[in-house]
Amino acid sequence: KLTLRRHLHGERIIVLANREPYIHQHDAEGGIGVVHPASGLVSALEPVMRACSGVWVAHGAGDADRQTVDAQDHVRVPPGEESYLLRRLWLSEEQERGYYYGFANEGLWPLCHVAHARPTFRTEDWQQYQQVNQKFADAVCQEASSEDPVILVQDYHFALAPRMLRARLPRATIITFWHIPWPNVEQISICPWHRELVEGLLGSSILGFHTQQHCNNFMEAADHFIESRLDREDFAVIRHGQRTLVRAYPISVEWPHHHASEAPPAAQCRAELLAQLQLPPDTLLGIGIDRLDYTKGIEERFRAVERLLEREAALIGRFVFLQIASPSRTQIERYQQVNRDVEELAARINARFGREGWQPILLRRRHTEPADVFRLYRAAQLCYVSSLHDGMNLVAKEYVAAHDDELGVLVLSQFTGASRELREALIVNPYDIEAASGALAQALLMPAEEQTARMRAMRRAISEANVYRWAGRMLIDASRLRRREQLIELLT
Ligand code: G6P
């Protein structure tokens, strides 16, 4: 944290992200409550903002958000701690439909994930996406207190903003991070506006992805689609004299995790949860925690649980898989469909294996606050992350961060960025139901010493490559770049 602050030289950073870290909502008692959204982006970036201070510019999506801001649409957060500013922007229904639901989540999201959902691109959505990117870029400029601010642009909602910001603030340090995969040239060319996306992102000083593969894909796209020069040694794209470094910065979680000291020890978390679920204390507990999204492979996960019960009859009545699925992007038809499919599948498996007082799958489709999620991680002997494709997946890292008892097994899809780092997890192909159910069985039978050896190695990896390191590495690269540019200015 300290290193991070040092790299900023006291400067406040401006984050641009669609999702806000705190959502104010009216509660049932007529008051206003705060909700922490289910978003890997938010859980990673929020601790960085708490450590650095600055301003986070986001869409005000809560129904009580307007009531909590001042005349500049600012509110100090986190509630009670108030270490940085949240600046909210208001979108019309039309803007939200076109920019967020349409272009970002029916177009770019399925385009960038190999999950076999066909992307939809509509001209009206694209127009809204352009307008909303401009609206947010303007707001960021208002927040800038110098000519050369440090701006962190986040994710696929804002591919055009870096270029718009560069036009207004030529000396800014713009660090853009793309939290989802970047597909290969053939696939990205499906988007009718792929050139504009690449050009927009090249307004950045640094463009970050989770993996080297995504960097390579982006470099190739720049080479194919636009007039630019590649510096393959330095991993940079040069366009109109503007250099953009393209680098892999695998995102991570805070360390130590701020819920770690508040939550009871693992054994107590488990005992309390099992009592609450009215299950015997020796029940083996597996967990899945996701947004209800078709990329997460929740159906494949349930099928692996079903196959596990077919092959290990001794687990019938003994093993429970608790799936927390936060409703997400519910206005989109594909999300309504995954909701129905997951529900039907869980019901079918429960009807097949369930008996008096026991069901193998407990499906909870409601928002769960991070503090409660942390206790669930601690309680579970097994966590299965079965994403069909995922930029990083922070659930995997959070499960490991929660297990300071050095027990518990992570079963992890090979199609997540996290699988490159967490080598001691049981890595599986989630489509291979037979192999995945074998890994679940192996996890439940694993001797404690092996669990500890694996968990310890993963905890070591995350404690070193934590989220402060993620942000710090980008800031170090940015300051090197700045120094280099200053030198060039001096010499020319
Ligand atoms: C992914 C995206 C984030 C997004 C999160 C939650 O992690 O990369 O940008 O915030 O999903 O989705 P939502 O649409 O609710 O913000």
The pLDDT tens digits for 78-109 are 999 989 999 999 999 999 999 999 999 999 99
* Mean pLDDT, residues 453-457: 98
Residues 8, 12, 17, 23, Cα dihedral to 10°? 130
- Using the atom order of ligand 1, give the atom closest to the CA of residue 155: 9
Cα 137 to Cα 151, 173, 174, 254, 298: the distances in Å are 10, 14, 12, 28, 36
- Tell whether ligand 1 has an atom less than 6 A from the beta carbon of residue 419: no
Which residue is closest in CA terms to ligand 1's atom 15?
328
- Return the axis-axis angle of helices 40-52 and 467-491, rounded to nearest 10°: 60
CA of 295 from ligand 1 middle (Å) equals: 12
Ligand 1 atom nearest the C-alpha of 100 is: 14
**pLDDT tens-digit series, residues 197-240:** 999 999 999 999 999 999 999 999 999 999 999 999 999 999 99
Is the CB of 180 within 6 Å of ligand 1?
A: yes
Stretch 54-64: mean pLDDT? 98
Query: Looking at ligand 1, which atom is closest to the CA of residue 17?
Result: 9
Nearest CA to ligand 1 atom 16: 19
Mean pLDDT calculated for residue range 131-146? 97
pLDDT band for position 9 (cuts 50, 70, 90)? low
Task: Give the tens place of pLDDT for each residue, 14-36.
Answer: 999 999 999 999 999 999 999 99
pLDDT for 71-80, tens place per residue?
A: 999 999 999 9
Q: Give the model's confidence band at 195: pLDDT under 50 very low, under 70 low, under 90 confident, else very high.
A: very high
Distance CA 470, CA 466 (A): 6
Q: 22 phi and psi, to 5 degrees?
A: -135, 130
Output the pLDDT for position 10: 67
Q: Is 39 in the pocket of ligand 1 (CB under 6 A)?
A: yes
ipTM: 0.99
Residue 489, pLDDT > 80, answer no
Length in residues, the chain: 492
- Tokens matching residue 150: 């440090």
The verdict on the CB of residue 326 being under 6 Å from ligand 1 is: no
Q: What is the mean pLDDT of the chain?
A: 96
Alpha carbon of 40 to ligand 1 centroid (Å): 7
Tally of CB atoms within 10 A around 282: 7
pLDDT band at 299 (very low <50, low <70, confident <90, very high): very high
- Which ligand 1 atom is at minimum distance from the Cα of 42? 10
Distance 102 CA to ligand 1 centre (A): 14
Assess whether the C-beta atom of 179 lies below 6 angstroms from ligand 1: yes
- Whether ligand 1 lies within 6 angstroms of the CB of 40 is answered as yes
Q: State the Cα–Cα distance between residues 227 and 222, nearest whole angstrom.
A: 8
pLDDT tens digit string along 375-399?
A: 999 999 999 999 999 999 999 999 9
Residue to substitute in 18, 22, 35, 41 for testing ligand 1 pocket (most ligand atoms within 8 angstroms of CB): 41
CA 430: distance to chain centroid?
A: 19
Banded model confidence at residue 482, pLDDT cuts 50, 70, 90: confident
Neighbours of 30 (CB within 10 A): 6
**Closest ligand 1 atom to Cα of 156:** 9
pLDDT-derived band of residue 63, with 50, 70 and 90 as boundaries?
Answer: very high
Task: Report how far ligand 1's centroid is from the alpha carbon of 346 (Å).
Answer: 25
Q: Whose Cα sits closest to atom 4 in ligand 1?
A: 39
For residue 37, which atom of ligand 1 is closest to its CA?
Answer: 15
Ligand 1 atom 6: residue of nearest CA: 39
**% the chain with pLDDT above 70:** 98
Report how far ligand 1's centroid is from the alpha carbon of 450 (Å).
34
Confidence band for 491, pLDDT divided at 50, 70 and 90: confident
